[in-house]
Amino acid sequence: MTRFTFYGGAGEIGGNKILLEDKDARVYLDFGQSFNFGSDYFYDFLQPRSVNGLECLFEFDLVPRVQRLYNPGSLRFTNIAYEKPDVDAVFISHHHSDHVGHLGFLDEDIPLYMGHATQKIIETYGDLYRDLVDIGVHNNVGTFRSGDKIELKHMLFRPVHVEHSTPGAYGYVIEAADDQNIVFTGDFRRHGPKQEYTDEFIREAAKAHPCCMLCEGTRMTPDPETQYSESQVYEKVKGIIQDSKGLVFANFAMINIDRFNSFYKAAEECGRTFVIDTKMAYILDSLREKIPDLPDPRTDENLKIYFRLAKSCRFCDKDYYVYERKYLPNMVTYKELNNAQKEYVLLTNFNKLMELVYIQPRNADYIYSSSEHFLEGEDNEDMRTVLYNWLSHFKIKLHKTHCSGHAGKADLEYAIKKIKPDVLIPIHTQNPEEFRKIHENVIVPDKWGSIEI
Ligand SMILES: [Zn+2]
Ligand SMILES: [Zn+2]
């Protein structure tokens, strides 16, 4: 018998935190933070004190009150006494915070397993955003590559890469007791340049004839499907750059390497230089050892690194952080962009709008190529108004093009029909009941509830 307990990821998009118990083995699949974490109780400066660890989070049942799981520091002000952990391991699907965000609470002796690229991305983001990305201290982090096998007691975990909106994403095929196999998809899609990764995962999962499949369903909604692929995004970006009579601004999530490649290639095809910031340069630099074919931000002819005007006003190395200085030889500033606006595509985001005052764009275009939430959500109307005011002030034309990091309904159905699990458990979705339309034996998990197979 296998038991799953859903401390997160049930009835919500994200927040995966799933305890899998099989005979005497106890492992977690992901240990993430929900996207709306704490929003019912905390606001602006009303926030839990990090020094108090889990005390305040237990008060509102925001983190499960489970014994023998957390580290002594996190338990210090709680009424749970520290005991050695009884969890054998945590298996991570990928680095997004809704899958790793609460790792920092865990006892440091619990072994973690993650993809080699996942570890590199977490390390790189930790260097750049020390206060934001912190998975805590862990004494035993095992990294794997797609196809590796990890033995744990009587179980065998086989991670297989999948395509998602970030590199280093994996699903798992898990051999449990009594020759029962379990499939855990993580987050995946199959409409980008790495579709073959997901298809390989689907093949491996199908071969296992699983008794049960935990399947993400971010885009499983009752609405009609609109599906864009990464190659359609690339074509649209290229068309906008070709038609533009000025500077083109690009706004996308930096770790979306497929999107970076789409803009980089489109700029190159149109004879323009792609200008990125020092953070993106640092990310490319650190991921180059893991992802072949990424351009070298120090020497690539089609890339330049933007340096903002700083204290000395002379663009000298003392003005910048140590990690930024190695990109100074490939520097470009507002002056070059101002003088030759049609020759560049500039990576930007909301917080960098101030550069427009220096660049003084003329006839420019702004391509918003990230989650629709920013432009359509109800909770950020103020920010959106500020963005629109800036674009209007500089007479910049706004364009939108994006495709999701998650499989659409047709691809979810394709995966499920190929894998043919006996039981289907929808996770990472707000519409689990929709899965009943494509599988006859769906068990919908409840938050903090258990399912036994
Ligand atoms: Zn997710
Ligand atoms: Zn994700």
Tell me the average pLDDT of the chain.
95
Confidence of residue 58 (pLDDT cuts 50, 70, 90): very high
Q: Where are the domains of the chain?
A: 2-222+405-452, 230-400
Cβ < 5 A residues, ion ligand 2:
96, 187
Q: Note the pLDDT tens digit of each residue in 245-267.
A: 999 999 999 999 999 999 999 99
Mean pLDDT of 181-187: 98
Q: 96 CA distance to ligand 1 centroid (A)?
A: 6
- Report which bound ligand comes closest to the CA of 165: 2
Q: At residue 9, what is the residue type?
A: G
Is the C-alpha dihedral spanning 224, 226, 412, 172 positive or negative?
Answer: negative
Q: 124 CA distance to ligand 1 centroid (A)?
A: 19
Q: Note the pLDDT tens digit of each residue in 389-444.
A: 999 999 999 999 999 999 999 999 999 999 999 999 999 999 999 999 999 999 99
Predicted confidence at residue 427, as pLDDT, reads 98
The CATH fold of domain 230-400: Rossmann fold (3.40.50)
Mean pLDDT of 282-300: 93
Confidence of residue 379 (pLDDT cuts 50, 70, 90): confident
- Rounded CA-CA distance 371/253 in Å is 9
Q: Note the pLDDT tens digit of each residue in 106-156.
A: 999 999 999 999 999 999 999 998 877 789 999 999 999 999 999 999 999
Confidence of residue 378 (pLDDT cuts 50, 70, 90): confident
Task: Say whether pLDDT at 38 is over 90.
Answer: no
- Report which bound ligand comes closest to the CA of 170: 2
- Report which bound ligand comes closest to the CA of 166: 2
Q: 14 CA distance to ligand 2 centroid (A)?
A: 8
Mean pLDDT of 367-383: 81
Q: 27 CA distance to ligand 1 centroid (A)?
A: 19
Q: 320 CA distance to ligand 1 centroid (A)?
A: 34
Q: 186 CA distance to ligand 2 centroid (A)?
A: 8
pTM to 2 decimals?
Answer: 0.94
Confidence of residue 175 (pLDDT cuts 50, 70, 90): very high
Predicted confidence at residue 49, as pLDDT, reads 83
Q: 193 CA distance to ligand 1 centroid (A)?
A: 20
Q: Tokens standing for 447?
A: 């938050």
Q: 190 CA distance to ligand 2 centroid (A)?
A: 14
CA torsion 105-107-108-110 (nearest 10°) is: -120
Q: 431 CA distance to ligand 1 centroid (A)?
A: 15
- Report which bound ligand comes closest to the CA of 96: 2
Q: Does domain 2-222+405-452 have CATH number 3.60.15.10?
A: yes
Q: 371 CA distance to ligand 2 centroid (A)?
A: 12
